[in-house]
Each structure stands twice: as C-alpha cells, then as structure tokens.
Amino acid sequence: MQRKLNIFLIVDYLVYLLVKVVEVCINIVPESWARAFGRFIGRVGKLLLSDRRDAVIENLTIAFGKEKSEEWINQTATKSFEHVGLLLVEFFLIRRWTQDQMAEKIIIEGKLEYDLAMMPGNHGICLLTSHFGCFEVSAATTKFLGYRTNLFATPLKNPFLSRYLFSRAGSDAEIRTFPHKGVVQTLITLLQEGALVACLGDQRGDAERGVFVNFFGPPAPANEVFAKLVIEGKARVLPICTYRLDDGKYLSTFGPDIEFEPTGDQKADLIALSQKFHDLFETWLRTKPEQGFWLQRKWRRKPSSRRRKNK
C-alpha cells in the first residue's frame, strides 16, 4: 500500500515538473507564438474531446438557438475552444507579469466604483465574477490594485499541481485560496469583518437541492452558496468582468454594485439574489459569447454511468 502511494506521488510530481517546463517554454517564445499555440491547443481539444464538444454545442444551442444559426453556433464553439486554449497560455504568462506590464496590458474601467467600495467601513465586499472572459486577469487586476483577496476553489488531486496552480497571479500576490468544502462560515466571518472575497458565481448548483434561475430563458440550477455569502456576510457586491480585446490587451470593468435588500424569507432571498447574479452573467456572455466557458453543462448534467445503472 505504501509502495503504491509512493508511485502515485512520483507520477504526480513528474506531471508537476512537466507543467513547469511548459510554463518556461511559453515564457521563452514570443508572446504571439504562445498565443498561436494556445489557439492550436483549443482546436485540438475540440477535435479530441467529443464529450466537451457536445457540451459546448448543447449550451450554445440552449442559449442562442432561437436567435442564431447552426453555422454561428459551430463557429462560436470553435472560438470558445480557442479561448480556453488561450486561457491556459495566459495563466502561465500572467504569473510573471510585472506591475509595469499589468499597467500596459490591463485597461481598467469603473475605478471610481472600486475606490468607493474600498472606502473604510463595516462592510465586506463580494467581488463577483464568472467563468467568462479572462477571469485569471481579473485576479491579476486585484493584485495590480494592491488589495488582499480571498477566494475558494476545488483543489486538484495532484497536491503539487494544486499548490502550484492556486498560487494565483504569482507567489507575491495578496490572494489567499481556501478549499472548496467546509469554508462557507469562515468566508462569511471574513466578510462580516470587512474582507474581500472573490466568487465565481456562475457555478452549477445541485438540481435536487439547489435553487433555479432564469438563464437565457430556460431554468438553470444555481449554486446558492454565493448568495448566502452576501446575505449572511452583509456584504456589498462589486462585479468585475475582464475580457480579451483584439489588440491583445484586456478590459477589466468594475461595478456597478448589485444592490439587494433581504426580505427575511431565506429561500426567496437566495433565489432573488442568484437571479440578479445570472442576469448580469447573461449580459456579459451576450457581449462576447466566444469568450464564454461553455465546456460545463449549465442547464442539465449528463447522467453518470452509476445513475444509469440505478434506473
């Protein structure tokens, strides 16, 4: 048993070393080459990952099928895979950006909303974003502005790779990452104490236990934990949206605040606030649908083999 565990750890460490080599290579070659490689990786992914390709087509069809042609959906699916490939490359590039490079590459809008939100007070801030555009650049933007951020994410099975990937925006970034499970109360306390917690608020909820929101028309299960953080943490909600521009720069936009007054009906409040979040996410996706992260089935989950056997 111990020997098998050691073998797994060795394999995990070799994978980690391979990723580090890829990072070095991406940062050695000209940036235009690295981006071309990212687009290529995305196209290869679309070709090889048939299940993910089906998920992207399904999601785009549900969201835009009544408005756009089948040809548009297929073209947007291809661009979406290229976008994911670019995200992988950008992750390695961003980690080594200096403050001067960030000032050159990131165009910030809504700085007034950001400054007002950061004024001293007894409120925490939920920095709300989604799997749209360049959310890793959003993390770099908070680093550039010098504010300490807390976020939670699901750790990877590979401990070396997990530690490496979740040291977001570089080792000197003021970003603390918490494990995905068992930290809700900790984050609520942080918000109550005036901290900033970043949330990818579009994550799919549990269809059996979660709440449903209107998303592009059809109902979609939403993860109510993000609304719970805001309501119980008595936090302000400051959205941040970052997407890639044609010239290789990035536009990061803050605000405006999402205002919400709880009614005291817990279930209704969670649904209402989650709906406000998703109304905003839909607006972003309609702006640049090709920069959406469509790989995960948002509306319905593909039945697992275990579920099919139990039927």
Q: Indicate whether 298 pLDDT > 60.
A: yes
* pTM metric for this prediction: 0.85
In contact, 189 and 160? CB cutoff 8 Å: no
Angle subtended at Cα 66 by Cα 64 and Cα 67, rounded to the nearest 5 degrees: 65
HSE, side-chain direction, 13 A CA sphere, residue 135: 19
Band (208; pLDDT cuts 50, 70, 90): low
Structure tokens at 242: 């970052």
Q: Indicate whether 171 pLDDT > 50.
A: no
Residue 94's contacts (CB-CB under 8 Å, 6 or more residues apart) are 136, 137, 139, 140, 169, 170
What pLDDT is attached to residue 47?
95
What residues are paired with 44 via a beta bridge? none
Least confident of 9-13, 116-120, 303-307: 303-307
pLDDT, tens digit, 9 for 90 and up, residues 227-239 = 999 999 999 999 9
What pLDDT is attached to residue 60?
97
